[in-house]
């Protein structure tokens, strides 16, 4: 399966359908040199979503919903991605956003369906960006139930913010790539300490 947005940043996809959420977050423009924003235009957004839904279907063994994105939907999906990243940031101990729920996250429809094997599945509802967002929230809810959502993080480097799945034993990872963002942060801290020491002399 191909999670095109996540693959650009050299990180492993999250397990199962949670990789859809990670891939949505990774449609943002990040990296050095910066990769393009995959939600910049309706054409780019449709191409990303079509591939992401195929990968989600392969990862979960369930048929992908048919989502039609209009040019107006791109703005909604873009805003949803922003609100989703903010909520992850808060889960990681960041400051809470301004009071009041984000408009795109207030209410999104979903349905429960009992299949022929006696299993209950959540299915996204709505149209356009709301249907794609509904699928993302379903996967987030399932990850909460299995206690795996806490491992989906965004890089602590605010110039990066790449979404990664922390596979460390004690869930202590903070950088999407410790050799890239971690080393850069350590170098900045070292230079700041050196300047502070020079000022005291």
What pLDDT is recorded for position 78? 94
Task: Please give the chain's pLDDT, 201 residues, in tens.
Answer: 799 999 999 999 999 999 999 999 999 998 878 899 999 999 999 999 999 999 999 999 999 999 999 999 999 999 999 999 998 888 877 766 665 555 566 678 889 989 888 988 889 999 999 999 999 999 999 999 999 999 999 998 888 889 999 998 888 788 777 776 865 545 455 445 555 555 555
Q: How many residues does the chain have?
A: 201
Task: Output the pLDDT for position 12.
Answer: 94
CB atoms within 10 A of CB 169: 6
Question: Quick one: which of 115, 139, 192 has its CA closest to 23?
Answer: 139
C-alpha distances in Å from residue 27, one per residue of 55, 82, 85, 106, 193: 15, 11, 11, 22, 35
pLDDT of the residue at 190: 43
Q: Which residues pair with 120 in a beta bridge?
A: 114
Kindly list the domain boundaries of the chain, sorted by start residue: 4-200
The CATH class of 4-200 is mainly alpha
What is the residue-wise DSSP string for the chain? ---HHHHTTT-PPPSTTHHHHHHHHTTS--TTTTPPPTTSSHHHHHHHHHHHHHHHHHHHTSPPP--PPPHHHHHHHHHHHHHHHHHHHHHTTPPP-SSS--GGGS---EEEEE-TTS-EEEEE-SSHHHHHHHHHHHHHHHHHHTT-GGGEEE-S-TTT--EEE--STTS----S-IIIIIHHHHHHHHHHHHHHHHHH-
Identify which of 137, 136, 135, 127 has the alpha carbon closest to the alpha carbon of residue 70: 127
Q: What's the confidence (pLDDT) of residue 200?
A: 59
Instruction: Pick left, alpha or beta for residue 33 (phi over 0 → left; psi -120 to 50 → alpha; otherwise beta).
Output: beta
């Amino acid at each position: 399966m191909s999670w095109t947005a996540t693959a650009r940043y050299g990180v492993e996809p999250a397990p199962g359908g949670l990789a859809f959420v990670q891939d949505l977050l990774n449609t943002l423009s990040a990296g050095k040199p910066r990769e393009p924003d995959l939600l910049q235009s309706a054409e780019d957004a449709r191409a990303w979503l079509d591939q992401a839904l195929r990968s989600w279907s392969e990862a979960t063994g369930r048929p992908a919903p048919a989502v039609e994105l209009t040019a107006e939907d791109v703005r909604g999906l873009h805003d949803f991605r922003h609100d989703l990243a903010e909520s992850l940031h808060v889960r990681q101990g960041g400051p809470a956003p301004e009071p009041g729920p984000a408009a795109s996250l207030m209410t999104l429809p979903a349905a429960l369906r009992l299949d022929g094997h006696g299993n209950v599945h959540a299915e996204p509802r709505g149209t356009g960006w709301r249907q794609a967002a509904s699928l993302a929230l379903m996967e987030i809810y399932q990850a909460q139930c299995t206690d795996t959502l806490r491992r989906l993080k965004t890089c602590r480097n605010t110039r990066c913010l790449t979404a990664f799945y922390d596979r460390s034993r004690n869930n202590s990872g903070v950088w999407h790539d410790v050799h890239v963002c971690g080393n850069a942060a350590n170098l900045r801290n070292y230079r700041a300490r050196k300047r502070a020491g020079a000022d005291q002399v």
